[in-house]
């Protein structure tokens, strides 16, 4: 059976059509990337749902940490007269360290690399609005293992876990908006 190169086997019309599709796709993706990002003039973090659930001082810590992290993540998009980014935090949980759930192995014998499967969580909804019109609405939930926040035996371990959740939330939100 004689071997023929693939391009010679395809009619010129098919090759031209494929080339046109590739160029069209490139033009469309270039237009999407060229659209300017929405300017953000104000960032608000509402922790009232957390207060109602009895989160206490963590509500203030989450609000200030998330505001700071959002300002850092959206620094290139901040400006007077822009839209408003409002984040309403609805759920916050710090799970128990060593909660009995583990990824230690099939029998839970404390193999190296093991740790708790219970993850800390922060969830809420971000709304980008301008002049009473909603431009985007993004529900978001982040989960992190407690051990990601450093040594558990230090007095500020739980606060560091809360700050890590706020920073992760801001990072994911910046990717999505």
User: What's the Cα-to-Cα distance from 20 to each of 16, 30, 32, 34, 92, rounded to whole Å?
Assistant: 6, 15, 18, 21, 51
Residue tagged 């984040």 (tokens)? 87
| Res 12: pLDDT | 57
| Res 118: pLDDT | 77
Name, in order, each residue with C-beta under 8 angstroms of 103's C-beta and a sequence gap of 6 or more: 113, 114, 115, 116, 117
Q: Which phi and psi angles does 62 have, rounded to 5°?
A: -65, -40
User: Where is pLDDT greater, at 69 or 150?
Assistant: 69
| Res 150: pLDDT | 61
User: Where is pLDDT greater, at 1 or 158?
Assistant: 158
- Does position 14 have pLDDT exceeding 90, yes or no? no
Distance CA 63, CA 163 (A): 10
| Full-model pTM | 0.69
- Does position 109 have pLDDT exceeding 50, yes or no? no
């Amino acid at each position: 059976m004689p071997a023929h190169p693939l391009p010679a086997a395809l009619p010129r019309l098919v090759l031209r059509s494929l080339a046109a599709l590739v160029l069209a796709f490139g033009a469309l993706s270039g237009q999407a990337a060229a659209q300017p990002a929405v300017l953000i003039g104000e960032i608000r973090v509402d922790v009232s749902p957390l207060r109602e659930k009895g989160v206490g001082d963590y509500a203030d810590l989450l609000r200030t940490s998330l505001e700071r992290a959002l300002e850092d993540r959206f620094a290139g998009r901040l400006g007077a007269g822009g839209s408003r980014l409002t984040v309403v935090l609805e759920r916050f949980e710090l799970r128990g360290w060593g909660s009995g759930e583990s990824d230690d192995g099939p029998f839970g014998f404390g193999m190296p690399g093991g740790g708790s499967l219970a993850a800390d969580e922060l969830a809420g909804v971000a709304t980008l609005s301008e002049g009473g019109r909603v431009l985007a609405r993004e529900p978001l939930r982040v989960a992190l293992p407690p051990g990601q926040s450093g040594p558990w035996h230090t007095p500020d371990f739980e606060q560091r876990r809360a700050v890590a959740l706020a920073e992760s939330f801001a990072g994911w939100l910046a990717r999505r908006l």
